[in-house]
Amino acid sequence: KAGVTQTPRYLIKTRGQQVTLSCSPISGHRSVSWYQQTPGQGLQFLFEYFSETQRNKGNFPGRFSGRQFSNSRSEMNVSTLELGDSALYLCASSLGGGGSTEAFFGQGTRLTVV
Amino acid sequence: AQRVTQPEKLLSVFKGAPVELKCNYSYSGSPELFWYVQYSRQRLQLLLRHISRESIKGFTADLNKGETSFHLKKPFAQEEDSAMYYCALGLDDKIIFGKGTRLHILP
């Protein structure tokens, strides 16, 4: 069974640009969550999607957005990039729908904003 | 508000010594608790969950509802245990992580 796949693995962008990250969950998983991981703040929850609907959102500005497609694949977009957005962005999938919340993580996308 | 607290950012332990990584949570319902581990250059992965009550790689964690704690323990540390450990609280639609504890095993 294929694991959670995130693309691209690495990105370098300049301030003011926008970026789109992609996540393919484990087959059969309907919930996809996104996290920002930095050395200082650890893992911070961005948002969670289930059946194409955003169910929960963390405390990030509106520049951070996401969506989920009918096949459960998800994308995350960050507009008007700032230097502080440099981080490892992790995607996690789980069954969702009231079952176990055990999450399976992708390897992440390392975003560097210069 | 639901919260997970890991009070130690860094824990250094000698090889062969006991390990205890602390985790406290705040949640009024019945919690679903996990420990995740991230080894160097590897993806974050589940180490254990409280409902399975199993021991993985020699680690155990007991849920103490009275103290709202879910500490991770291992009687004898090994060098390969060096990693970043995250305690997590599972809710209906998200998982809340603590800030993590870096465990460094000294030779």
Q: How many CB pairs under 8 A join A and B?
A: 55
Considering only alpha carbons, which residue of chain A is nearest residue B99? Answer: A42
Q: Which of B95, B99, B100 shows the shortest C-beta gap to A101?
A: B95
**What's the confidence (pLDDT) of residue A84?**
95
DSSP string, chain B: --EEE---SEEEEETTS-EEE--EEE-SS--EEEEEEE-TTS--EEEEETTT---BTTBEE--BTTTTB--EEESS--GGG-EEEEEEEE-SS-EEE---EEEEEE-
Give the rounded percent of residues in chain A with a pLDDT score beyond 70. Answer: 95
Phi, psi (degrees; rounded to nearest 5) at B79: -60, -35
Considering only alpha carbons, which residue of chain A is nearest residue B94? Answer: A48
A42 contacts on B by Cβ (under 8 Å):
86, 97-100
Listing from the earlier edge strand, what are the strands of the sheet with B72-74?
A: B19-21, B72-74, B60-61
Give the rounded percent of residues in chain A with a pLDDT score beyond 90. Answer: 78
B32 touches chain A (CB under 8 A): yes
B99 contacts on A by Cβ (under 8 Å):
41-43
| B5 alpha carbon, distance to own chain's centre | 11
B96 touches chain A (CB under 8 A): yes
Place of tokens 């639609």: B93
pLDDT digits (tens, 9 = 90+) for B6-25: 999 999 999 999 999 999 99
